[in-house]
Each structure stands twice: as C-alpha cells, then as structure tokens.
Chains A and B, each alone.
Chain A
Amino acid sequence: MQLKEFKIKWGMVVDIDKCTGCGACMVSCQVENNIAPMTAEDPHNNLQSMTTKRDDPSNKLRTLTWLNVYELNNGEAFPNRDTAYLPRPCMQCGHPACVPVCPVVATEKNEEGGIVSQIYPRCIGCRYCMAACPYHARYFNWWDPLWPDGMDKTLSPDTSVRPRGVVEKCNFCHTRYLKAKDRAREEGIDPMELPEGYYVPACVEVCPTGAITFGDLNNPEHKVHELSKNPNSFRLLEKLGLAPQVYYMSKREWVRKQGDNHAAGDHNSAVKQASQGHE
C-alpha cells in the first residue's frame, strides 16, 4: 500500500534518555485539549446515579489520555535494573491503520502536515479504529464529559469538547497549528514554511527536560529532520509498516530493541534501511 506523503510532515523525536517520566506532557495535553477528567458522579443525571457507577479516576482503561507515558525496563534485577519512560502520543502514521477502516470517513490523513485528523461530529462511535490501532492511541468517550465545579473555568476556548460515544485522539494540538499559520500570515511568513519553534504542541512546550523535539520532518532546517536520521533513533513497531511520524531516540540498546520488537530476529536494520530508502 502506498505511503501518504505531503509537502509538510509534522513529526516528533522523543529522546527517551532525557525523559524522566514526570508526566507534565500528559497534564498539559489534558488541559490544552479539554480532555474531561474522570468524575465518579454525574450531578445532572439522577437516573445514572441511581443505577450506574461511573468509573473511578484510577481506572486507566477508561480514562482519556491522548498521550500516555509507558514505563519500560530492561528486565534485569537490581543492581542492573534500568528503567526508561516512553511518552506515546498518536503516531500520525504515514500509513495509518485507523483511517481506511473508518466506515464514515470520520478520520483522515490529510494535507495539514500529515496529521491524522478526527472529525468528532461525524464519528458514529463504532470503535473499529480503536481495534485497528496497535499503539492504543485512540480513546472512546465512555461517559458524558464533566468538569467539576470551578474546573470548567480551565476549559480552553480553542478546542471543542467531545460528547460521549465518539472516539478521540491526539492531533498534535492542531488548533495551535492553525493559530501559528494565522500568525505567520500576519507577520508575512509563508505558512507552508513555518520556522522552527513557530508551531509546537503543548506537550513539547511544557516538557521540563526538553526531551521532545518537534518540527517538519521534511524540512532540512528543522532539527527533527536530522534527529530522525540519527542512528540511535527508531520508530515504534517499525516492522508493521505503519510509518509513524513520531521517532524515539535512545543510546541504550535494550530500549531500541524493545521499541522495535525483535521477535523475528534482527531484521530491524533491513526494515530501517528500506524505510529510510523511500523517505
């Protein structure tokens, strides 16, 4: 199948060796994108309080976290134990598993810098895309979204709030992209050639260790262009051919190995060469 390629390809390179697993990116994502927290009770729905228990915020399988930080370890015992953290946004795959399966074209890989969009008012909530995405990057709204009193003041006016029953996911803070392009037009800059740092998603901005670099993978003037070609960088599950636009970097071999999953022996280098060949 053909890889979808556009002039601009927004991408990330996450330096796993710098990530401390602090979770600031998760929180900023939550705030930036109006992601509803899990609330145990719905004060507006009496019938629900009488009949059904909403989930506990600790239930990670029901909460919405467009960006999730995974904890990796090298499987060895102390003192050789080593840990790494891997933040996982939507990979904005070049060859997404989620797009072709959606029956109503609610999700699409489009020209907006190759970001995989999600059209909430069109999604029927069949969750086929969730079944398709191996990165678990898609989340379903199990309950009506609710913000506890006072917390609703933190809602961002830029992002729409999603109703229950639709699937949502990370879009590289697409609203920030739109704003950046507007600003560029005002300042007389070509919106198709945004300089480095003009558009960055919330998680990138907030990361205290600077572990995440963001930019146009196709633009040689952007750092990510170079970083993605670094011998220490790899993409998660490269072997499946989904061609993610998120790269990871680590000097530690066991981390690179886990990211790629070498169950089939070391065919990783072959895949890597092949995929770099057609980029």
Chain B
Amino acid sequence: MIRAKRKTGLVFFPAFDWAISPTHPEREERLLYTQDQVMEEGLLDVPGIREYRVRPAKYSDLQRVHFCVPDEPSMATESHLISAGGCLVAADAVMKKEVESAFALVRPPGHHAMKVVHGNRGFCNINIEAVMVEYIRDVYGVKKIAIVDTDCHHGDGTQDVYWHDPNVLFISMHQDGRTLYPGSGFAEENGGANARGTTINIPLPPRTGEKGFLYALEELVMPLLEKFEPELVINSAGQDNHFDDPITHMNFSAKGYAELNARLKPDLAVLEGGYSVEKALPYVNVGIIMAMAGMDTSTVKEPGYDKHYAPQAPDITDYITNLMGTLKDQFLINPPAPHPAKNGEIITTSKRIFYDTDMINENQDERLVRCRDCAGALAIDSHSSKGNKMMGVHIPKDACPMCQKMAEKWVNEALDNKKFHHIFLQDRTKCTYEVLR
C-alpha cells in the first residue's frame, strides 16, 4: 500500500476559463495536461495527499502587499484573486498542521508583480507568494520566512516587495539576466539599506543542467537557509527551467525538479511559470507533488528525456563552479557590510519599471529611513505612462517610533501636494490600508 511519508496538501486551480489572450503562453490550456497526468496517476487518492478547494482572496489580502493603482479591482481580476486565495488555502493547511507541506498549483502566476502595481508584468499582476507571506505573518504571527525562487526568470517582483525586509530571505536561482527577461537578478542586487544580504541572486548560465541546479542548491542555497534559520521555507516553483520550455534556454528535467524539491523540503510551494504545457509540466508537477509527499520519484521521467536531455556540458559545469565560489565568498564567507548611512538618515533612490504585457512605463522615486531598529519607513512616489501619479507610504510590521513618525510626516506632505491622484498608507503595524486620496 502506498502512502505519503509527509502529509501533503494540494491546491489545484487550473483556471480553465481564463487567459491573457487566446494564443498567450498564459492560457486556458496551460495546466490541462498537468491535470490529466495528476488525475491519471491517481495522486489524489494516495493516503496522506489531500486536495483543498480554492477560495478567492479578498482585496484586503492584496493590500498587505501592494499599492494597486488606481485600486485593487482594476488590477486584480477574479482569476488573480483565486490564484492568490489558493496560496492562502495552502498556507492555512500547513499552519493549522493539517498537513506538513502544501503545493499551490495555481495560475495565473505572480513573481514579477512588484510592490506598486500599474498593470501586468511578465504575465503577473498580483504577487501571490507575497500575499501569502503577509497573510501568514498577520494571521499566524510568523516572523522569519525564506522564499526560494526556482523559476527560470528572475523573481524581480518578489525581490522588489522584500527588498527592504530583513526578515524575509529571498533567494532567486534563474537564467542569467543578460540572456532573458526581465534582465535583472545579478549578484550585486543584494537587498536595500536596511536588509543587506537578505536578497540573494544566483544568475545561472543558459544550458545549466540537473547537475548545476543541484550544485547551486547544495553549495549556496542550503547553507544560506541554515544560517538564516527561517521558520518557514517557501518555494516559488516555476517550471520553465525545463529543457523543453519554449521561452527559456535551460536544461533542467522533471527528475531534477523532484530531486531539488526533495532536498529543499519547502513547507509551501507555489507554481510560477512553466510553458512547456505538454511535454514538461505534467511530469514536473507529478515529480514535485511526489517529492513533497516523500515518495520515491525514481520512476518519474518525461517521455522525451532519453532522446532530448543531454547532461550538462563541461564548460557550463566549470562556469557554475567558479560562480558558486564567488557567490559563496560574497554571501557566506564575507557577507555584505551594513549600509554606511547613519541611523535616521533618508536614503533616496529612483528607478524605472517596464510592464511588458501592458506596455506601461513607470518612474519611481523612493525614500527610505535608514534604521537599525526596524525595516524602515518607505515612501514611493510613482507615476506611470498611463498618467497615474501615486504616493504610497509603507510602515513595516515592526516599525520603530521614529519610522512611524516619519511616515506620518510623509503622508501629510503628500496630502498638501496636489500632484498626487492617489495617496495610500499601508500600516503593517496596525494591519491597515488607508486610501487617503
């Protein structure tokens, strides 16, 4: 009799009635064959694997994370709410100890959605992992959380949301940004002034194979997790590193994904990208579910594996060995030094963000309080090419009195400034979100 060694929850939401456009990679058909394979394998009958029904997230769940401009209803459709809600269901199942781990196999994905949302970037509107993390913090009081993003694309949205948060360790393994959307995710991007070293980027070369991914995991990711000591580990389980994926150039396999998951042992996994809908996703997902459940995955193999999978080339192995040496030095041996600014100093930065799906340009001017006691108050002055001008003020969860005061000052300044169409105050200490204009 088969049985899951670890009790595993599964939230499956293929959204068979939603697509970005009829021929878009993010379309109705995407999880069709995954569903076929999961059902045919009889995975949901395995004792110890439990399927949960999705529920839609509320707008207030999104407000813990995002500044949606102009508002939540225009940025999040029903499908986004259900996809995010699926993650909340998975979180509840784990936090209430009904299962040891859970996998939210949902779409649409979310890891390119940043803190401020003017539209769709990289198929994402709402950052479903971040919505889940903030929910877990508010409802279950968990403080230290690690997110390991194994999607082929840099998880720039999640990085942006947690850039200033020293209590969330964000690690992204992805295809080098010089060769793939969104073009970011370099080792130098290592966290904001108050959160140095809690953002880690591992840009892997195209053609990285099973060996390279597992090497990076063992050499860097696992030691970093050990050092950070998170209460929860979340896997952004994008599946587009697969050798058959049509929009990336990596060389990973179902076996590899299963092995990676078995070693990482995440408490929660959330599906992100993955667009080889027929030849990869069905097998990768079956592999991940079985690995999470502690089952033997040695019989999971995509039909094209023997013909189309080539082991990692020696030059790639050499490159990755060198890269890991450098990154280990940067993050484990000589971790980044704290930001030199004095306590209470205001640090300003500017950035431009491009929304590829919706063709929107956004300009952001950010002010952050350099703070040794908390994650620091944050003010984002954002305007988009759609014409929306917004001021969003964020008070972090454990904000010190100085930062709370500064946030109050920024809000008052914004209220005096007629240029802003929208002013939002996200106060994570009180778990409130105020629309002030």
The answer to whether A and B belong to the same complex is no
Name B's A-contacting residues (CB within 8 A): none
